[in-house]
Structure 1
Amino acid sequence: MRTLVIDNPASRMHRVPPGHPEHEGRYLAARDALTALTGPVWHEARPAETASVERFHTADYIERIRDACDTAAADEWVSLDLDTKVCRDTWRAALATAGASIDAVDRIMAGEADAAFCLARPPGHHAEPDRAMGFCLLNSIAIAALHALEVHGLARVAIVDIDVHHGNGSQCLAELDTRVMFASLHQSPLYPGTGSADETGLNGNVVNVPLMAGTQGPAWRDAFTRQVRPALAAFRPEFIFVSAGFDAHERDPAGGLALLEADFAWAASQLAGLAAEFASSRLVSVLEGGYDCPALGRSAAAFVQALVEA
């Protein structure tokens, strides 16, 4: 696949307290690994317009984040919840992260590429329309999905979440909009405590696959093949979005699944094949979790390389 990397250097502006797991080293580790690849074409992210963000988030919520960033003193942080902190420059980083996903959609719809990987932080899949949580501020994947629907006039899109944690914020979108399918493979029980198999959405457009701690690659692949693939085939999306969290890796401290780099490469190949079959090869992936930096870098590189080779 013709593959882009949409890079958000402003990711480094989102500073967090020492010891916080969602730090700028994650971005740097993934960036170093991806720059070693020869296939992707790189572009720099542009900030999203507020109107694009408001397709998913409420105006009041956006104002709360802006105010929190504006009131943060130099070298200080403001807490939006127990885990989610912002600094003075966080809003700029978050807008550019959302902008990366929108730019990826626009470039693919313009025929510049088939697939894109958004190298950006902070992550977004836990962020609900009016609530920050789990390190997440703006739900870039939901914002991009709505951009594809509303700006480019697509009829159906799918979000596939491979992060070890359930993407509760992204599921919110599918629970409100039948044009969106949401599928998640995640560890359970684990934060945020959502994503049971009986959460099925409006018309069966939500597919949750909770997995026990210790699940290894073969069982994870089998769950994808038996539950996610048929659901995507039935829904026939015109664009596939991927919350590409790599914290299901066996070395990651934030979860208890036991995937390896080869499993993430396999997932990318499967998703690329589904995109080619139903979605005119349109696929956008956005970096979510991954908190062991070496494993994150290797996994992201394996994922993107598999897209290039698909």
Structure 2
Amino acid sequence: MLQWMETGEFYLIDLGSRNGTFVNGRRVSIPVTLQNGDRLTFGQTEVDFFCPLIRPVSSADEPDSKEFTATATLHVRRLISVLVVDIRDFTILTRQLDEKLLSEVIGTWFRQAGDIIREYGSWVDKYIGDAVMAVWTHGANGVDRDEALRICQAINALHRMTNNLYHQYPLPFPIRIGAGVNTGFAMVGNTGSGDRPDYTALGDTVNAAFRLESATKQLGLDIALGERTYQHLADQVGNVHFLERYAVELKGYDSPTPTHACSFAELDRFLKTTLDTLH
């Protein structure tokens, strides 16, 4: 399956094709970003990928100015929430599944994850190995109640979807995920070339979201929220006593970081209670 991203990139995702899918001779098991000129192999069929909107900058395109750079930087400082979701024990899974089944399961997971993220008002920023990064942008007044709830609902839906894969495929064990969410200001914009824009979010807010997801493993929990995400959820929704507070040593940070964490079961109960009250 070819999937066009909001970032302007094209990803190739194999959904378990009988003969496998290959890019430049390498089998696809996780989403692969396509470049012009890539050779795609589907069974006995070979095609070369080309998109007119994706064109490398040639020397003939470059102006004479010494200050020219191939990277266009058009950034806006925005308040965002970043969600990072990672598949647990992915390496073990790759060792226990044959390539066809692995491609089908992982391809299905990434495709459905993208659908869920868009359903709840976000956009997929990146597929990174066995993880997905999503971004919600907020207005000048901060995170409102609906936005805070949509982030929680997206996490809950991703967990349910992942659980269902165990019932859809002959897996050796249920697939598990971990989630980290962080809210703060970041530079959002085009970091690609003028001919190939790459819209993404940059900054410490993004880095911390990845660290928070990693922290769920040392905490033995499923979801970790940054302090600002927690405060917005508490202010806009309330009833957040299910989130335990921790001081976590995050890689790359000098001092312990306030973190609020919980299990998927606790998040599910919170959403049921909150949504019933609102309705």
- Normalized against structure 2, the TM-score is what? 0.30
Q: Which structure has the larger Rg over C-alpha atoms?
A: 2
- Normalized against structure 1, the TM-score is what? 0.28
The structure with the greater share of residues assigned to strand is 2
The structure with the greater share of residues assigned to helix is 1
